[in-house]
Chain A
Amino acid sequence: MNRGKLPLLGAVLASCTLALSACGSSTHGGSAITVYNGQHEQTTAALVAAFERQTGIKVNVRTGDEAELGNQILQEGSSSPADVFYTENTPVLEALREKGLLAPVASSTLAAVPSRYDSEQGDWVGVSARVSVLVYNTSQIKPAELPGSILELAGPKWKGRVGFAPSETDFQPLITAIVRLDGLATAERWLKGLQANSKTYPDNETVVAQVNNGESAVGLINHYYWFRLRAEIGAGAMHSALHYYAPGSPGDLVNVSGAAILKSSPHRAAAQKFLAFLVSRTGQETIAHSHSYEYPLRPGVAPAPGLRPFAELQPAPLTPAELGDGAMALALEQKLGLL
Chain B
Amino acid sequence: MSTLAPSPPSTPSPPRARLAAGWTRAWSGRRRWPLVSIAGATLAAALVLLPLAFLVVQAQKSGLGEVRHLLLRHSVAVLLWNTIRLALACTVLCALLGVAAAWCVERTTLPARRLWAVALVLPLGVPDFVVGFGWVSIDPALHGYLAAVMIMTLALYPLVYLPVASALANLDAGLEEAARSLGLGPWRTFWRVTLRQIRPAVLGGCLLVTLGLLAEYGAFEIVQYQTFTVAIFTEFKLGFDTVAACVLSLVLVALSIAALGGELTLTGRARSSRPAGPGARRVAPRVALGRLAAPVLAGLGALSGLALGVPLGSLVYWMARGSSTTLPSASILAAAGHTAAYSAAAAALATLLAVPVSALAMRHRNRVTVLIERLAYLPMALPGLVVALGLVSFSVRYAFSLYQSALELIVAYAILFLPLAVVGVRSAMGQSSARLEEVGRSLGARPSAVWRRVTLPLIAPGLGAAFALVFISAATELTATLLLHPTGVNTLATQFWAYTSELSYGAAAPYAALMVAISAVPAYLLSRRMSTLANTGRAA
Please report A residues at the B interface, Cβ cutoff 8 Å. Answer: 2-5, 7-8, 11-12, 14-16, 18-23, 25-28, 34, 40-42, 60-65, 67-72, 74-77, 79-81, 91-92, 95, 167, 169, 172, 199-202, 205-206, 208-210, 213, 215, 225, 228-229, 231-234, 237, 291, 325-327, 330, 334-335, 337, 339
Contact = CB atoms under 8 A, between A and B. Distances in A.
Contacts of B532: 2-4
A60 B242 contact: no
A71 B136 contact: no
Nearest to A40: B502
Contacts of A11: 344, 521-522, 525
Contact of A2 (B141, B489, B540): B540
Contacts of B231: 339
Contacts of B467: 8, 12
Q: How many residues of B sit at the interface, in one of the four size bands?
A: 35 or more
A339 B245 CA distance: 14
B340 A15 contact: yes
Contacts of B460: 5
Contact of B393 (A26, A75, A167): A75
Contacts of B406: 19-20, 22-23, 26
B502 A228 contact: yes
A208 B505 CA distance: 14
B348 A205 contact: no
17 contacts: A7-B525, A8-B525, A11-B525, A14-B344, A18-B337, A19-B345, A22-B338, A22-B342, A22-B486, A64-B483, A65-B237, A68-B483, A172-B238, A232-B323, A232-B505, A233-B322, A234-B323
Contacts, number: 201
B234 A167 contact: yes
Interface in B69-120: 73-75, 78
A71 B487 contact: no
A75 B338 contact: no
A8 B464 contact: yes
Contacts of B392: 72, 75-76
Contacts of B479: 68
Interface in B338-354: 338, 340-345, 347-348
Q: Classify the interface of chain A: helix, strand, loop or mixed.
A: helix
B506 A232 contact: yes
Contact of A15 (B136, B341, B463, B529): B341
A229 B503 contact: yes
B341 A4 contact: no
A67 B389 CA distance: 12
Nearest to A19: B345
Nearest to A13: B348
A5 B540 CA distance: 9
Nearest to B452: A1
Interface string B202-243: 000000000000000000111010000011011011111010
Interface stretch (B283-291, B297-305, B397-405): B397-405
B298 to A, nearest CB: 31
Given A26-B404, A60-B487, A202-B222, 4 more contacts: A3-B532, A12-B347, A34-B487, A72-B389
Interface in B508-540: 521-522, 525-526, 528-529, 532-533, 540
